[in-house]
Structure 1
Amino acid sequence: MIGTSVVFNGVLIPASMLTAALARYVDNLSIWNDHEIYKVSLVGSTVPIKFAERYFVLCTNHQLRGCQPENVSLLGRDGKMLITSAGVRHFNDDSNPYYLDLAAFDFTEPCEARQELKERFFALREVPPDCPATDIVFAVVAGFPSGKQRYELEEKNHIGKVKRIVVCRPEPASYDPALLCLRAEEPLDFDPNGMSGGSAFVVQAVAGEFRAYFAGLVVTGGKDQFHIIKAGHIWRFLRTLV
């Protein structure tokens, strides 16, 4: 794809800038603690999504075990400030298997109060068209593995955010039709713990051109593969919230 460009949410992105562009929309999932020094716990990754003029932070339910949902937060760009949601939260309906392990937190109110927050949210306007795996050129998975974060609260009241980006190829099939299985081009050189809730984007060949799409949310990961909740199921989940 050297020398080509890819259409991404209506914008033409040069191939040389594509991986960084596709890995942009992911963040640390933070939990506020009522503690003088250790104010924040990190519980993996999250995808901030703008959908129908609302702003949601998406993650998986299993990331929230032992946490108070009302304390879910985003870290400021400086690694110091915490931004909490408006207190509105939604969880998957366990009777509907397509929603799987999804949770959403409504950040519309803080986004309206802090305009700079909005640029961190991906505007979800479409989902990838159904296609055989051979039409997916590659995928980009991004997240914040727990072992790579610089937890410096005691010394500096600061958390250093370290993102990892993994280029993947699609597997022909998954054990669950609601999931997309992606295999890393190279085995990971880090522990994938903390990648849950991370983002996945794909580049597909569509009608003679290359187009990039939000593919879904990381639900499980290993040393060489990730399972992704497909974007279509996330879209249907979000439609029930707006």
Structure 2
Amino acid sequence: MNRHQRARYILDRLIGTSVVFNGVLIPASMLTAALARYVDNLSIWNDHEIYKVSLVGSTVPIKFAERYFVLCTNHQLRGCQPENVSLLGRDGKMLITSAGVRHFNDDSNPYYLDLAAFDFTEPCEARQELKERFFALREVPPDCPATDIVFAVVAGFPSGKQRYELEEKNHIGKVKRIVVCRPEPASYDPALLCLRAEEPLDFDPNGMSGGSAFVVQAVAGEFRAYFAGLVVTGGKDQFHIIKAGHIWRFLRTLV
């Protein structure tokens, strides 16, 4: 089956159907946007009069056990002060900082060590509008063969596409890119899920690290969508994802 036949096959399977996503039925026509909603810019506050913020890729805001965390990879934070990690306000002008940072500490697998979580519970309780940006992580995808995954959606904020207009406008224009992918049969590391883009990327994937990945699976005769994990590396046609089960394990140590 070539790329175009596969895309037609996916559409034929979903047209006229809805997908269960975190307990809610989402029409197929709205599904990609719904799955790509839960990703944000990872921003670093700078002590500079003009260039007040640096963008260091993407992040996934997660609500877990009534706590609000912003997740990213440690390699995004090289040279950064963790206490300066922030979220941009919706207007692209305001910065909200976190209350603390935790790192995964498990020497048995190096990719666990590339996870970092910033606790935004306190700012979320103070600013109720922030809460809608966080995905409520309630379950992880059930184990299944790759053939049961209908497709995947990866979303993030590639660095070269962001509108960095601080000098004149004191504003950052956030530009999200959404990539429809299919799973590869296996990854070089069991902690990672490999996803291949249906079409080669027409942009530099730098900045997609920390982005979100969601999958749609066929489960017991219906289509269900799940949080699949967080982007750890990306190339022109594929992404490697830290699996949701390892992220769940990490967050359990924090709460």
Q: Give the TM-score range, shorter chain.
A: over 0.9
**Number of paired residues?**
242
Cα RMSD (Å) of the superposition? 1.0
Partner SS, residue 142 of structure 2? coil
- Structure 2 counterpart SS, 1:62: helix
**Deviation string for 1:11-42 (max 9, x for gaps)?**
00000000000000000000000000000000
How many angstroms does 1:234 deviate by?
0.2
Deviation string 1:142-175 (CA, Å, 9 cap, x unpaired) is 0000000000000100000000000000000000
* Correspondence for 2:46 among 33, 39, 45: 33
Deviation at 1:92, TM superposition (A): 3.7
- Partners of 2:104 and 2:250 within 8 A in 1: no
Classify the secondary structure of the residue corresponding to 1:80. Answer: coil
The answer to whether the 8 Å contact 1:141/1:165 transfers is yes
- Are the counterparts in 1 of residues 163 and 175 from structure 2 also a CA contact under 8 Å? yes
Aligned-pair distance for 1:96? 4.7
SS for the counterpart of 2:56 is strand
Deviation per CA, 1:112-155, whole angstroms, max 9, x where unpaired?
Answer: 00000000000000000000000000000000000000000001
Cα deviation, 1:172-212, whole Å, max 9, x if unaligned, reads 00000000000000000000000000000000000000000
Identity %: 100
Whichever structure has more helix as a proportion of its residues is: 2
Q: CA 1:170 to 1:114, structure 2 compared with 1: closer, same or farther past 3 Å?
A: same
> What is the CA distance between 1:99 and its match in structure 2?
1.8
Measure how far apart 1:97 and its partner are: 4.0
1:76-87 aligned at under 5 Å gives the runs: 76-87=89-100
- 1:29·1:46 contact (CA, 8 Å) conserved in 2? yes
- 1:67 matched to 2:80? The reply is yes
CA distance in 2, matches of 1:182, 1:88: 28
TM-score under structure 2 length normalisation:
0.93
SS at match of 2:254: coil
Secondary structure in 2 matching 1:159: strand
5-14 or 87-96, larger mean C-alpha shift: 87-96
Write the distance in 2 (CA, Å) between the matches of 1:157 and 1:183. 37
Q: Which runs of 5+ in 1 are unaligned?
A: none
Structure 2 CA distance for aligned equivalents of residues 29 and 211 of structure 1: 28
Whether the 8 Å CA contact 2:217–2:224 is kept in 1: the answer is yes
SS of aligned partner of 1:186: coil
| 8 A contact 1:61–1:91 mirrored in 2 | no
Assess if the C-alpha contact under 8 Å between 1:147 and 1:191 holds in 2: yes
Q: Could you give the per-residue CA deviations for residues 38-77 of structure 1, whole angstroms, max 9, x where no partner exists?
A: 0000000000000000000000000000000000000000
Paired with 1:206 and 1:91, the residues of 2 have a C-alpha distance of 31
SS of 1:196 mapped into structure 2: coil
The 2-side partners of 1:199 and 1:44 are apart by: 12
The answer (yes or no) to whether the contact 2:50–2:167 under 8 Å persists in 1 is yes
- Alpha-carbon offset, residue 3 of structure 1: 1.0
* More divergent stretch after superposition (85-94 vs 52-61): 85-94
Shift of 1:89: 3.5
CA distance in 2, matches of 1:126, 1:43: 28
